[in-house]
Amino acid sequence: MKFGEYAKTFIPQINEAIKLLFQEKLKTVKNDFLVSYYTELRDYILSGGKRIRPLLSIGAFNSLNEDHNDKIINPSVGIELLHNASLIHDDIIDKDNFRRGEPSFHYRFQTYHQKHNLEKMQKVDFGNSIGIIGGDSMYFLGLEAYLSNNFADPLNLKAINYYHQAFIEIADGVLIETEMVNRNKVSLKEYIEMISLKTGALIEKALLIGASYANIDEKYKTYFSTYGINLGIIFQIVDDILGTFGDSKITGKPTDGDIREGKWTCLLIEALNNLEIDDRILLNSLIKKTNITNSDVSKVKKLFLKADVINSCKKQANKYYEEASDALKELSVVIKSSELEFFTDLLDFVTKREY
Amino acid sequence: MKFGEYAKTFIPQINEAIKLLFQEKLKTVKNDFLVSYYTELRDYILSGGKRIRPLLSIGAFNSLNEDHNDKIINPSVGIELLHNASLIHDDIIDKDNFRRGEPSFHYRFQTYHQKHNLEKMQKVDFGNSIGIIGGDSMYFLGLEAYLSNNFADPLNLKAINYYHQAFIEIADGVLIETEMVNRNKVSLKEYIEMISLKTGALIEKALLIGASYANIDEKYKTYFSTYGINLGIIFQIVDDILGTFGDSKITGKPTDGDIREGKWTCLLIEALNNLEIDDRILLNSLIKKTNITNSDVSKVKKLFLKADVINSCKKQANKYYEEASDALKELSVVIKSSELEFFTDLLDFVTKREY
């Protein structure tokens, strides 16, 4: 089954499972502010997203079962909540007020602050405070996916273990990224290690959760890991390209964030690798500015294009594409052809995506 | 066994279990910044604290077993990590740079920022960013207490359920508290509901986790709940008193934070209940100021004393003391006398504590 078809089949069920999780929580809440809070949290996660992570859990589970089984839908959403939790906290850290063309979670509570004329606390502080707790809530609501479903205790504990590992690895990735901003040189190897944690881990764990609910044989797990981490690396490299050269109307994000924050993207690393010394010094000085202007951003983009970074990064992505493909070949012995097609097509989609 | 003796017996083991948890994590970490980060996280939690929550888990477990059993030590620290996670995020929200006389977690990374001359990101932003992720890590490391220990899967899943509930309830409590700051009137009933969530839930869950590892009979659970929530309410009322009228050298906290932030403490509510109309209007206007001066803080404290709020709040605490005592009487049928003494003595300690 092609990725698009798989998505069309399962996304409505995934969104229903997410809705149900929040509905159950909202049933228990009486305080007016908490009702607004959990409603915003629900609307935030339902406002968009490609649902690739739950689709991967469902795909991995189905790939090892004779028939499709709806049991996997509820636990598949855990990792999606974990993903959204980390986005909520990232947007506070990066001071991004928009995500998927919609207000980011903490920014929604700046708006709430204005609407309700809250006086004692400042708008930005109020938004950030609710945002910090908002991410926390999303992490813990994600756990619920493994606490009430139709699988046996030991399988749920395994899933919680993966959930836990996924979080630790994302956090490590984000920490390394945050500290890296202050460095003057980062190698491609360090960058790949960082994004394997920041982006790869979650995609890998989504697959492993699905596969372990289907009692996968230990020896095949490693191929799901390899496929997942490499898919994640490609996803992030393409994200870097779209983050600066994408169409913000399609991606829903401004195209100057990474440059302003001085993030070590594939683009920046490859530009510093490809440019001559003078341009390299200029690029480094622009990126390190604490108050970067619009004209500085344009200059950085021009230097990126001069260094042909889009092609360099795509070439890098192709290396990981090969590794992911090889892992799929190994898996083809045990998984169903319909899901093999889904995994293969998803790999193509992620590599070629424009949003 | 008296509380002091119980603490002396188990706190070294509790601290060892906490150390071990971080040691295991540090073993897997190679990146220099991550090493600093997890070391600070470990030092933060080991810098102090009364360890009441793990002691309660241990007490509840031992109270239902013939012999003491060290199996409970490792899972007992989960809730302590959850507690510290919420402190880390609270300190960012409240902009408190010190806790227990030591730098708060996010503030440690402002110092790190200065020491390492980080240029690209601002000091406060860097501290807050690492602090947000720091709280997240502490939440997830707490989960580990239930993922690797010597209990059976279904018991660990039950504990994770309580851990999960504890988090949701604290978050709800902190959210209600954050939003309340902007209100002009809060009733004692609303305040008690808020602190039952913010402080009571964690103490209750620490007991329920210990009791459920000892396979407690369903019908006695409710008495552990009642004892725990009331102990938590008393703890918070006393915390409110010490927060403004305690000796900051002993408590390790400044005594103007609650007043500056306009928090709805027992003191403020009772003052508004007890004062005449003119003083009430004055107090309300002082508390609502966005830029409150030292002289304003002194005026608020004087109004508090005029309203005899310390005695009013102690009287409130006594009501909850009675409820907790009654629950202990019900438990005395099933629990060992050594732990009954511990729970009774702890109730006295929490009511009379000065730090």
Whichever domain contains B112, its CATH number is: 1.10.600.10
A244-253: long-range contacts, CB 8 A cutoff, minimum separation 24: A244/A301, A244/A304, A245/A301, A245/A304, A245/A310, A246/A354, A246/A355, A247/A354, A250/A354, A250/A355, A251/A355, A252/A48, A252/A98, A252/A99, A252/A100, A252/A101, A252/A102, A252/A355, A253/A96, A253/A98, A253/A99, A253/A100
Q: What does pLDDT average to over chain B?
A: 94
Look at B143 and A160 and tell me if their CB atoms are within 8 Å.
yes
SS3 A74: helix
B103 φ, ψ (degrees, to nearest 5): -60, 140
Predicted confidence at residue B182, as pLDDT, reads 84
CA atoms of A136 and A142, how far apart (whole Å): 10
Predicted confidence at residue B286, as pLDDT, reads 95
The answer to whether A179 contacts chain B (CB < 8 Å) is yes
pLDDT level of residue A66 (50, 70, 90 thresholds): confident
pLDDT level of residue A169 (50, 70, 90 thresholds): very high
Whether the predicted pLDDT of A119 surpasses 80: no
Predicted confidence at residue B55, as pLDDT, reads 98
Predicted confidence at residue B221, as pLDDT, reads 96
Those of residues 185-224 in B touching chain A at CB distance below 8 A are none
Look at A167 and B136 and tell me if their CB atoms are within 8 Å.
yes
Per-residue pLDDT tens for A262-299?
Answer: 899 999 999 999 999 999 999 999 998 888 999 999 99
Amino acid at B233: I
Residue B122: its chain A contacts at CB < 8 A? 290
Q: How many domains does chain A have?
A: 1
CA distance A353 to chain B (A): 30
Q: Is the distance from CB of A142 to CB of A41 less than 8 angstroms?
A: no
> What ipTM was reported for this prediction?
0.90
Determine the average pLDDT of the residues in B259-275: 95
Look at A132 and B171 and tell me if their CB atoms are within 8 Å.
no
Of B232-241, B246-255, B281-290, which range is least confident? B246-255
Look at B182 and A120 and tell me if their CB atoms are within 8 Å.
yes
Q: Select the residue of B133, B143, B179 nearest A171 (Cβ to Cβ).
A: B133
Residue B101 CB coordination number (10 Å): 13
Whether the predicted pLDDT of A110 surpasses 80: yes
Residue A288: its chain B contacts at CB < 8 A? 119-120
The answer to whether A153 contacts chain B (CB < 8 Å) is yes
Determine the average pLDDT of the residues in B155-173: 96
Comparing alpha-carbon positions, the chain A residue that sits nearest to B122 is A290
Look at B172 and A29 and tell me if their CB atoms are within 8 Å.
yes
**Strand ranges, E, within chain B:** 98-99, 102-103
Predicted confidence at residue A99, as pLDDT, reads 84
Predicted confidence at residue A355, as pLDDT, reads 72
Predicted confidence at residue B94, as pLDDT, reads 84
Q: For chain B, how far is it from start to end, CA to CA, in angstroms? A: 22
Predicted confidence at residue A118, as pLDDT, reads 81
Predicted confidence at residue A173, as pLDDT, reads 95
Predicted confidence at residue A41, as pLDDT, reads 97
Comparing alpha-carbon positions, the chain B residue that sits nearest to A158 is B147
CA distance B171 to chain A (A): 7
Whether the predicted pLDDT of B291 surpasses 90: no
Structure tokens at A215: 């009692």
Per-residue pLDDT tens for A68-87?
Answer: 789 999 999 999 999 999 99
Amino acid at B208: L
Determine the average pLDDT of the residues in A198-222: 96
Of A313-322, B19-28, B91-100, B237-246, which range is least confident? B91-100
pLDDT level of residue A336 (50, 70, 90 thresholds): very high
Whether the predicted pLDDT of A252 surpasses 80: no
Of B172, B183, B184, B187, which to mutate for an interface test with A (greatest number of A Cβ within 10 Å)?
Answer: B172
Per-residue pLDDT tens for B27-74?
Answer: 999 999 999 999 999 999 999 889 999 999 999 999 999 877 899 999
Q: What does pLDDT average to over chain A?
A: 94
Predicted confidence at residue A85, as pLDDT, reads 96
Domain holding B159, by residue range, is 3-352
| pTM exceeds 0.90, yes or no | yes
